[in-house]
Structure 1
Amino acid sequence: MKHLGKLTFIMMFVFAITAYAQTKDNPWAVSVGTNAIDFYPTGNGVGEGTISSEHIFDELFNAADHWNIMPSFSKVTVGRYLGEGFNAQFGGSVNKITDMGDIAVDDLAYYSVDAAVQYSFMELFNTKVVDPFLSAGVGYYWLDGNGDATFNGGAGINFWMTDNIALTLDSSYKAAFEDSGVNHFQHAVGVKLGFGGTDTDGDGVYDKEDECPETPGLKEFNGCPDSDGDGIPDKEDECPNTPGLPEFNGCPDTDGDGIPDPQDECPEVAGTKAMNGCPDADGDGVADHNDDCPNEKGPKENNGCPWPDTDGDGVLDKDDMCPDVAGTKANNGCPEVSDEVQKELNDYAKTINFATGKTTITKDSEEALDAIIAILDEYPNAKFTVEGHTDSVGSAKNNMELSDARALSVKNFLVENGVDEFRLSSKGYGETKPIKSNNTRSGRAANRRVEINLAK
């Protein structure tokens, strides 16, 4: 019954260390090899449980005199990776004992089962081949039908020839729980085969190390692809299907202007950052492909072309109310009505005649009116007032009404013959603004007049 309790303890320990590591990405390892049992360095060969320092270092590797070697495959170990350099190990071995220290015995049968936690220094040393380790655990052995549980401590090394195959060497000391047990060393050499790692995308990089586990990739990029072969993995490449440069996160700069193609509005022509990669030959702030005058500076509002000044008066057409007629800046590009012109208008206006006592313009006045229209056309943005005047003959009321009607009649004639109505107004002054004395015939004739004056 006491053996059953010890075996139960060992099985619980095995379950604990293996169940802890059950994840799909943790690889398994199986090793198969031969083992040697040595009782000599532990004492006098009868299991007293004391270690003789005199003999441990002198006789530990005296295989010829003290080791019990089973040359065939006599030890099997199954392991699972726990993470952070730790592995769980469970194994069993058989042997035939002919020497217990210096005492020869008659082929005693030896069996053992062991469970251990193993710490590998491979990750710590950042090596892929040499894999030294330490181990600690428990076990149970049977020797000629009698057995006992043991505390086990050991060390060893794996030499990984490939990612999956290693030559493994280990040595462990097994100290019996009970004084009646036999302390001993067990040495082993074998071949270890690693398996069980998941490689979903089949690119040769296990999922636990694969940064792109569902997309086939390259080992140098931790399992991620580089579709365009520019040395930048797709997950970091903003242009994964076009070879590019690291400084542009994998995007090309075809024209070499320092602006990557996706941000370059003119990717095949060198330009400036201010123009989003497009050139601006004349430096007017309008990119050449949008500039109607790429070699001549001009504002954006005119598509990169300078504003014209058709009449050459120094007022640009966009600001010139008379773009085809030279004028002055003060008059928005239109010519100004001079005193001479004003006098000329009124010289013609004085010759306009009406039927006696009526507002009807006589036929002989048309020549003067045509001359007036020609002058008004030269000043297209100027506004004028048509003024009617009478002499003092008759009532002031009638004279006012008559002058107002005659001024309106002249205005209507001018409008009907092409002068814009908004430029003209009319007003009658009757006898209130004489220019001569109404006491003489010539004076009254001068006072009966029409004037066309610039509206101030």
Structure 2
Amino acid sequence: MRHFTKLFIAVVLTNLLFAAQLNAQSTKRPWMIGAGLNVIDFNAPYNFDQIAQTEYWNVLPAISKLTIARNLNPSFAVDLQLGGSRITTLTGGEEIGARGFIDADVDLRYKFDNGYIIKENAVFAPYLFAGGGINYLSQDQVRGNVGGGLGFNFWFWKDFGLNIQSAYRLVPGGDETVAGKQNYLNHSAGIVVRFGKNDTDKDGIEDDEDACVEEPGPASTMGCPDRDNDAVADKSDACPDNAGPVALNGCPDADADGIADKDDRCPSVAGTAAMKGCPDRDADTVADIDDQCPDQKGLVNLKGCPDTDADGVADKDDLCPTRAGTVALKGCPDRDGDGIADDDDRCPQDAGPISNGGCPVPKAEEIQSINVSAKSIQFVTGSDKIQASSNATLDNITALMLKYPNTRWSIEGHTDNVGKEAKNLDLSKRRAASVKNYFISKGVAADRLDSEGYGQIRPIADNKTAAGRTENRRVEIKLMEIGVKK
């Protein structure tokens, strides 16, 4: 008996020592009590094939098993079980009358509902256990035992459940022929109840209501830490060290515009969410911080500035804000597309080079053609009347003048030295004027034409010969100016 007692004490101390080393309790109710039926079977350990034969079971038809257990952490619990029975049958069915039997055991449980294998709040919660204890069969002595087994709790409503377990109890020095020294199976079934409060982090909030069981925190954050005391738990706080409203996940909002400072481009000035916290005084969807015209409603692509003529150039940069133009010309139009703004183009409707002020330039061969053709214009002798044979020549010259409407021309009349000089001068003037009037009649603007007569003072050939005098009687048409503004 002394050896059995030492063994029992060793088992109990081992369990208690192991329990003391476990540094946390379950997040559930820490305590559990149970009551139910207790079954003792001395036959099955020696005749295992008869384990299911209930005629060998010894049971007291009343509450005969009491259990109290304490959770040590999510995986382990220690329990004390006290059971009683009325023994009538031993190994092999040996009848011994009716003798009382008491056993008391301390076991360490390994729970599968630990959150790793199955969830902690599982309805079906199996476990394994091992431990030792003492038992007493009336008319015998107290004996020690060691053993283990398996069981489960079925939690059918909150903290109330059904417990069923089976244990193999080994009595050291057991002898199947000696009553009281026989090994036995211990089955039990009953009701269990969980109770008690658990506060692992000692923050005053029970674990089953504590969202952060192992970290202390205030009730306002369900037991979770809140360093900045803004009622937003650090784990959910986007700014855990700066107090802010719940609506902004705990981040501050200095300008109270509903946008957290960390996301606010203008944290000190109230703005809108669409503008990422910046104001937009003119409501043009361009934040004032980016708006080059913050008090005038404008376009996004023009940095918030208006564009009255819709030419893609902001009014503030547009030299012609009411007339659509090109970006290259700072918003001014260029009707002839020659790269010179109309306001600076001497010929805004006719393309020309910059070197000529935007006016077209007659080709050298065209100018030469006019000069040559002009000298073939014929008049009635001694008169300023143009001969009809020269009309075709004049019409060709007219066409070139109309082709370049921004040119000015001088028409010069010349004579030979036959006759009086004054008369020749007058005749040359009248002939030049006749040619001018012809061009005007064909659509050439009068202000584009000058006419002058020089008489006999500018010969181009020798007046001593008939051929020379014929060459000196002539009309010359010269290009005076290119780029007359229309």
Query: TM-score, length-normalised on structure 1?
Result: 0.49
Query: TM-score, length-normalised on structure 2?
Result: 0.47
